[in-house]
Chain A
Amino acid sequence: MSRQVFIAFATLVRKEVRRFMRIWVQTLIPPAITMTLYFLIFGSLIGSRIGQMGGYDYMSFVIPGLIMMAVINNAYSNVASSFFSAKFNKSIEELLVSPTPNAVILLGYVCGGALRGLLVGVIVTLLSLFFTSLPIHSPLMVILVVVLSAVLFAMAGLVNAIFANSFDDISVVPTFVLTPLTYLGGVFYSIDLLPEFWRSVSQLNPILYLVNAFRYGMLGVSDVHVGWALGGVVVLVAVLFCVCLYMMEKSRRLRQ
């Protein structure tokens, strides 16, 4: 990457970070409040009646999934809304007329979205310490999984934003796809509790692998093979990067 290209990348990332920091009441506070409510209701109130899950008390079991849920949702929605807004008000043309390569525009937006996801993840993690102590089984696995997940869903948000024709279009995927997959992705329960059929169906859900790999990093327990989960995420990141780049180059929704 030449110096000029690096400056363009840094400018875009800086702009994206400043954007979500400027509207922190909309971007950082809501996930903090929502997750605190989850900790209170599912962890403290209901969790105390559920007992142990995966060898841990329910609060400890549920926290890694909730952190991952916050990271995924925020990385996704940041890029989806920011990129679509730029398309909508045509300010994306500032980048398209410049010498900035498409790959750098893609990386800049993804990096901005991933940073918001990670920042929200840190906030939620800190809040969770008010409810329980968190063991870290494998710090490397925690960092690897959370970063890859943030990047993966930031790219998914970009695909959504490129396709979207209206602001309604950027809420369709989170509402009808992302939320159900997250809720059914082993955030609140171990898939060992499910009947054989639903356990097999759950194994088609990519979020299940992310949540379990992250939970393994923190607690050392997982419903799935962690190596496969990590490998799958890396492959998905690579595939989605190619899809995003292809869309940046070819999509008529960006350049007629």
Chain B
Amino acid sequence: MTLALEIDHLTKSYASGVKALDAVSLHVEKGDFFALLGPNGAGKSTLISIVCSLVRKNSGTVKIFGKDIDVDFAAAKRHLGVVPQEFNFNTFEKVLDIVVNQAGYYGLARAEARDRAEHYLDQLGLWEKRDQASRFLSGGMKRRLMIARALVHDPELLVLDEPTAGVDIELRRTMWSFIEKINAAGTTIILTTHYLEEAEALCRNVAIINRGQIVERSDMRSLLAGLQRETFILDIEGGAEPELDSQFAANLVDAHQLEVSIARGQSLNPIFQALSEQSIEVRSMRNKVNRLEELFVGMVGSNGGAQ
């Protein structure tokens, strides 16, 4: 088994005394689409910043495709591409220059760098903007520019730190599809996001970090299988106030919405039957929240989020 990322006993305390990471170990396989989740201040960004060498660790090891960042810094870095949470490019520079210069820092000759920049800017719908100063781009375009910049040296491991934050839903879906394509082509992806439906839809494996420790590490399917209850919202019409058996934990949100919580595996038929007997019509039904969110809140909620 080839590991794209191998983190062992990683510890980091800041000068302020905050212990951001407490002996964290995490292995991500080659080709994986991996979610790293956690509340604000849990240690996600510190972990990613150490992998990218923007933050110094106190102890532990980090290997990228088997290359230790302390021993073989340059080789490890060549495998890695990073899309950070905040915009971190010179807003006075032109879009094309930002991507071509980044390729140069990875040792790509100018002609090749330009070809690759054209390829990725075109793929991400930014080629028309290539001669524009980056400060004139919209928020979504700036996010895509950072993705193009991270990919220009063809990294085998791409770390995306909240890449769709503040991006509208249409653009978010376009970015999902692009990232899925990159993953299908063989690039290992590590994604941190606050949109848990994003992680649920895209990622095969997941780790949840809280207070500097990994509290869950599993594949997405097994994790979701651990969900004990599901909540549905039923849009109802007609009849009097519905009355349901207490096992369904029903709650009337308003005259037209009924919230029903059921145990995993329990049949919904008795609910429909009872409502039908009360002359109440069910027009539609949907999940109240995405399933991962319920699990996530269960795991980190009781301990509190931010440090």
Contacts and interface: CB of A to CB of B under 8 A. Distances in A.
A binds B: yes
Interface of A: 2-5, 7-8, 10-12, 14-15, 18, 85-86, 89-91, 93-101, 252, 255-256
Closest 9 CB pairs of A and B: A4-B107, A11-B104, A90-B88, A98-B105, A99-B74, A99-B77, A91-B90, A97-B52, A93-B88
Q: Identify whether the interface residues of B are mostly helix, strand, loop, or mixed.
A: loop
A256 B195 CA distance: 28
Contacts of B74: 4, 99, 101
6 contacts: A7-B107, A91-B89, A94-B88, A94-B101, A96-B54, A255-B56
B73 A99 contact: yes
B111 to A, nearest CB: 11
B15 interface: yes
Contact of A97 (B54, B86, B98, B109): B54
Contact of B105 (A3, A90, A100, A255): A100
Interface residues on B, range: 35 or more
B54 A99 contact: no
B121 interface: no
B102 interface: yes
Contact of A11 (B80, B86, B87, B105): B105
B107 A97 contact: no
B105 A95 contact: yes
Given A91-B90, A99-B73, A255 B53 contact: yes
B91 interface: yes
A93 B84 contact: yes
B14 interface: yes
Contacts of A252: 15
Contacts of B107: 2-5, 7-8, 99
A253 B53 CA distance: 14
Contact of A89 (B56, B80, B88): B88
B106 interface: yes
A123 to B, nearest CB: 24
Given A91-B88, A94-B88, A255-B55, A8 B104 contact: yes
Interface string B64-86: 00000000011101101010101
A98 B88 CA distance: 14
A85 to B, nearest CB: 7
Nearest to A3: B107
Contacts of B97: 15, 18
A4 B54 contact: no
B80 to A, nearest CB: 7
Nearest to A100: B105
Nearest to B84: A93
Contact of A98 (B14, B49, B106): B106
A15 B105 CA distance: 11
A18 B86 CA distance: 25
Contacts of B80: 97
B280 interface: no
Given A96-B54, A101-B73, A101-B74, 6 more contacts: A15-B97, A91-B93, A94-B105, A97-B53, A97-B82, A256-B14
Nearest to A4: B107
A96 B90 contact: no
Contacts of A15: 97, 101
B108 interface: yes
Given A8-B107, A15-B101, A256-B55, A98 B77 contact: yes
B88 to A, nearest CB: 4
Contact of A90 (B52, B82, B86): B86
Contacts of A2: 107
A154 B71 CA distance: 31
Contacts of A101: 73-74
Given A3-B107, A95-B105, A99-B106, A86 B53 contact: no
A117 to B, nearest CB: 22
